[in-house]
Chain A
Amino acid sequence: MDILIKNGRVIDPVNKIDRVTGVLISEDRIVKIGNLSEVKTSGEKPKIIDAKNKVVIPGIIDIHTHLREPGHEEEETIATGTRSAAVGGVTSIFCMPNTHPVIDNQTAVEFILLKAKNEGIVNVFPVGAITKGLSGEDLTEIGELKKAGVVSISDDGNPVMDALVMRRALEYAKMFDLSVIAHCEDKNLSEDGVMNESYTSTLLGLRGIPNESEDVMVARDIILSALTGGHLHIAHVSTKGSVELIRQAKRNKIPVSCEACPHHFTLTDEMVKTYDTNTKVNPPLRTEEDVREIIKGLQDGTIDCIASDHAPHTEEEKNKEYDLAPFGIVGLETLLPLTITYLVKTKKLSLMAAITKLTSNPKKIFKLDSGTLTPGSKADITIIDINVERVIKDFVSKSKNSPFLGKKLQGFAVMTIVNGKIIMDNGKILSD
């Protein structure tokens, strides 16, 4: 059935549109943006959605999530993770390969895509591993992975510690026009740290991860990107130093892009003071100075994308000694409201700029079909109410590990459309 979204404020960064108008969807495609009175629909009357006082944007693309399947289905599955995405207004997600077994071969990629087709409700784009078993040693069959359907490669969770391996990865991936997503961390400098190294870690007696553990790897990988010409995408930038290095690299026309996560532009390591393990994340929550620079990087375009790094963990895993709890926080359902509340409502970023980092920049960097409302493209659309306020109480995700529980946020998705089908309406999943 055709769908006509009327009266909404339509924002499409790719076409530089920001005005109140309509969007017509037919089957799984966007047909037209504009005054729709003259448009002929395919015979039967389209379903009308009144988006008055709402914002209609291309479906959000979250380029950094962990779906935990296969291997840790008690934390999340493709079914539950994609439902969490739908509620968050996210229509496409990248899933990282650090599953058990690792997504380092064609069969594993096919498993993800098959599961996503049968049980998922949003678009799932697998990211393949850079090295076999994420060991940092031998390259995966990157050509085969690409053929099977990966959108990028990454050893996320682990850095590629050996510079030569990283060089070869960038060189080899370039042949297939694939970006390499780098988790930049010098494990030796991190020295089993569990939080940011700072005055707070000194007081708490917790082992610290210095900013420099990230900075030196960002610098190394930028240098290797310059050497090879291979496209480097730096995941979850958390430090002032990283932002400065990436800014410089872009000025020097080195093929680099990057993302920041909401928790890194909203929270600081002071939150760790109660030893609440929902604050334990890697890279760790940093300081006020880092938060300021990340926001500056988002403003001046150094940081291209906003991604959640959705990392579900069960209550059983998290409710223990800080040293023993795993790293990670869930983020699919707070990605949009944190962006609106902390960046748009505070006037640090225009709504257009924020939507750009959630849709068209991911599209551009990873050469995706989704991420625009251009007629003819896939009908992935998110409708948001940027004024509605809500206290975060629970998640659709199987896991609840979030430092934002109990926080009042503003700006939520009210409808999610994937491939021309409404899958979420006012917080309710419709496909079930």
Chain B
Amino acid sequence: MRLKNKDLLGLEYLSKEEIELILKTAVPFKELFTRSIKKVPTLRGKTVVLLFYEPSTRTRISFELAAKRLSADTVNISASGSSVEKGESLIDTGKTLEAMKADFVVIRHSMSGASHVLARNINPSVINAGDGSHEHPTQGLLDIFTINEKKGTVKGLKVVIIGDIAHSRVARSNIWGLTKLGAEVVVCGPSTLIPRDIEKTGAKVCYNLDFALKNADVVNVLRIQLERQKTKRLPSLREYNLLFGMTKEKLKLAKPDVIIMHPGPMNRGIEITSNVADGAQSVIDEQVTNGIAVRMAVLYLLAGGKSSPES
């Protein structure tokens, strides 16, 4: 089996089987990390361009390491210090990369749909590394991979996503992926940060954290996006912390074996306390490790690979 499209723009556009294929393919790549030589020659000669219009630590480095561990060449472009600062359009930048014979363009952009615009206009495979409030498919995949690894399955689990759902691309990708694989998804946050008709995706909405946490198998805490709070959707971060902050006490309301996730970067003391983030039930560091394996799988499969690279 292969992926249908040349691009990965969102989990909305993938079938259940395609998601499972990526997850399965990531397993042997993760095993690679335990070896002393963490590199395979699979994508030797391929060029991966990382086009980042927004600041990013983990996603950019994760993609770069994923490409390098597959022996691809990588090039980094960020908005500052490039022609973007001279007013070059996204499409022109994309065309330039195409002319330089890039095989992949990994794009991070502050505007929803930016990866669609790029994919429509250039031939290289476009991988969405987060577009505005739309999707962040590889984050969704690595979250699901992590849940799978810890719980053995996703099906039938109760996954609670807490925070600013309205502006969260991580939430959207998680909702698509998790509901396709049969999990029960509950989104929990202030009513002003829950977008219209989100229930239609199959996710349930809950405004009360205590109630949402009941019987939870997985708690995914989102970053409260301080830069978005100009729009007066929250009276104060203090009240947000009181109502939705994830604390050790709150965690007791969930199942005893609940796992805690966070896509990072964290605002410690606002949406999550340090003793939860660094506690025994936290899988936040493993998410980061798994991110590389999942992104290797995505690059490998988009390059035309079939499942199970070892065979």
B25 to chain A, nearest CB (A): 27
Let me know if A275 and B133 touch, CB within 8 A: no
Distance to closest chain A CB from B244 (angstroms): 20
Contact A320 B201 (CB under 8 A): no
Given contacts A321-B114, A322-B112, contact A203 B12 (CB under 8 A): yes
Q: What B residues does A198 contact at CB under 8 A?
A: 196-197
Residues of B within 8 A of A208 (CB): 196
- In the complex, the answer to whether A199 meets B196 with C-beta atoms within 8 Å is yes
Chain A interface mostly: loop
Query: Which A-chain residue is minimally distant from B133 (CB atoms)?
Result: A205
Across-interface contacts of A350 in B (CB, < 8 A) = none
Question: Which residues on the A side are within 8 Å of B133 (C-beta)?
Answer: 205-206
Q: Which residues of A lie under 8 Å from residue B90 when comparing CB positions?
A: 320-321
In whole angstroms, what is the CA distance A67 to B260 when docked? 57
The answer on a CB contact under 8 Å between B197 and A205 is no
Cβ–Cβ contact A322 & B113, under 8 A? yes
Chain A residues positioned under 8 Å from B169 (CB to CB): 205
B196 to A321, Cβ gap below 8 A?
no
Q: Does B75 contact A (CB under 8 A)?
A: no
Q: How far is the CA of A235 from the CA of B134 in the complex (A)?
A: 32
| Contact indicator A204/B196 (Cβ below 8 Å) | no
Among B111, B198, B231, point to the contact of A324 (Cβ < 8 A): B111
Residues of A within 8 A of B109 (CB): 321
A199 to chain B, nearest CB (A): 4
Q: Are B196 and A274 in contact (CB under 8 A)?
A: no
Instruction: From the candidates B114, B132, B231, name the one contacting A191 in the complex (CB within 8 A).
Output: B231
B104 to chain A, nearest CB (A): 20
B117: Cβ under 8 A from any A Cβ = yes
Q: Shortest beta-carbon distance, B263 to chain A, in Å?
A: 15
A205-B112, A275-B113 as given contacts; A320 in contact with B195, CB under 8 Å: no
Residue interface bits A174-213, CB-to-B below 8 A is 1, else 0 = 0000000000000000010000011101111110100000
- Tell me, yes or no, whether B271 is within 8 Å of chain A by CB: no
Q: How far is the CA of A319 from the CA of B133 in the complex (A)?
A: 20
A197 touches B113 (CB 8 A): no
How far is B131's CA from A205's CA once the two chains are assembled, in angstroms? 9
Q: Once the chains bind, are B117 and A205 in contact (CB under 8 Å)?
A: no
**Known: A191-B231, A205-B135, A275-B117. Contact between A323 and B111, CB under 8 A?**
yes
Minimum CB distance partner of A323 in chain B = B111
User: Which of A202, A203, A204, A321 is within 8 Å of B117, CB to CB?
Assistant: A321
**Among A203, A321, A323, residue most surrounded by chain B Cβ atoms (within 10 Å):** A321
Nearest-neighbour CB distance to chain B for A91, whole angstroms, equals: 39
**Which A residue's beta carbon lies closest to that of B113?**
A275
Q: Is B132 in contact with A320, judged by CB distance below 8 angstroms?
A: no
Q: Mark A265-276, 1 if CB is under 8 A from B, else 0.
A: 000000000110
Residues of B close to A204: CB separation below 8 A: 112-113, 134
- A321 near B111 (CB under 8 angstroms)? yes
Which residues on the B side are within 8 Å of A201 (C-beta)? 195-196
Q: Mark A296-334, 1 if CB is under 8 A from B, else 0.
A: 000000000000000000000001111110000000000
The closest CB in chain A to the CB of B231 belongs to A191
The answer for the CA separation of A398 and B213 in the assembled complex, in Å, is 58
Name which residue of chain A comes closest to B199, CB basis. A199
How many Å lie between the Cα of A275 and that of B128 in the bound state?
14
For B114, the closest partner residue in chain A by CB is: A321
Q: Which residue of B lies closest to A325 (CB)?
A: B117
Q: A372 vs B121: C-alpha distance in the bound complex, in angstroms?
A: 48
B35 within 8 Å of A (CB atoms):
no
Over the window 118-152 of chain B, the binary record of Cβ atoms lying under 8 Å from chain A Cβ atoms (1 yes, 0 no) is 00010000000001111100000000000000000
Q: Which residue of B lies closest to A319 (CB)?
A: B91
- B201: A residues at CB distance < 8 A: 202-203
Chain A contacts of B196 at CB under 8 A?
197-199, 201-202, 208
**Chain A neighbourhood of B172, CB < 8 A:** 203, 205
**Which residues of chain A come closer than 8 Å to B167, judged between CB atoms?**
205
Indicate which residue in B112, B116, B135, B200 contacts A323 across the interface (CB closer than 8 Å): B112
A to B CB contacts below 8 Å, 23 in the list:
A202-B196, A202-B198, A202-B200, A203-B12, A204-B112, A204-B134, A205-B134, A205-B167, A205-B172, A206-B112, A206-B113, A206-B134, A319-B117, A320-B91, A321-B90, A321-B109, A321-B113, A321-B117, A322-B111, A322-B117, A323-B112, A323-B113, A324-B111
* Residue positions of A touching B, CB distance < 8 A: 191, 197-199, 201-206, 208, 274-275, 319-324
Q: Which 7 A-B pairs have the closest CB atoms?
A: A205-B133, A275-B113, A205-B134, A199-B197, A205-B112, A202-B195, A321-B111
